[in-house]
Amino acid sequence: MTDKINIVLVHGAFGDGSHWRHIIPRLYQAGHRVMAAQNPLTSLADDVANTRKLAEWMGGPTLLVGHSYGGAVITGAGHATNVVGLVYIAAFAPAEGESLSSILAGFDPRPAWLVSALPSTTTSCGTARTRSTTASARTSTTTSR
């Protein structure tokens, strides 16, 4: 197994290392040395440091694999000297100097069809703004005669 690359799997923000439980056995059977990071999710810096330590502990060429928020983690941890590659699985892949908050700043989570269906209003400073509506149901009482 020593001729195969090491793999560190990094979970997203709403998970933990156990999310890789179905993947680890298959990679191990293929001859890889595999570990899932158990990041504390206290801060991005803490998670990067934890993942980097794990990658360095693995020794030898190591591939970091991140899912979702784990992509931002592996971007930072990928500077370890033994890391040979980064794999992003439906993950954030920030560019140099980019942060998660800057990536999310321009993101509107509403579906495009909803945004286009909402009427636009103009604010006092003259910029267009989409009106936010609530999902409260209006009820009316009808009586049949």
Arithmetic mean of pLDDT, 29-39:
96
- List, by residue number, the catalytic residues: 68
pLDDT score for 112 = 73
What is the per-residue DSSP string for 70-124? HHHHHHHHTTSTTEEEEEEEEE--PPTT--HHHHHHT---S-HHHHHHSPEEE-T
Residue 43, pLDDT > 60, answer yes
- Dig out the tokens for 127 from the structure: 């910029």
Label residues 69-100 b or e (16+ Cβ within 10 Å = b). Answer: bbbbbbbbbbebeebeebebeebbebeeeeee
Domain boundaries, the chain: 6-120
The CATH number given to 6-120 is 3.40.50.1820
**73 and 44 Cβ atoms separated by less than 8 Å:** yes
Residue pair 55/83 in contact (Cβ under 8 Å)? The answer is yes
Task: For Cα atoms 105, 110, 114, give the angle at the middle one, nearest 5 degrees.
Answer: 140
pLDDT band at 117; cut points 50, 70, 90: confident
Q: How confident is the model at residue 136 (pLDDT cuts 50, 70, 90)?
A: very low
Please check the confidence at residue 135 and state whether its pLDDT lies above 90: no
Range in 18-22, 70-74, 94-98, 104-108 with the lowest mean pLDDT: 104-108
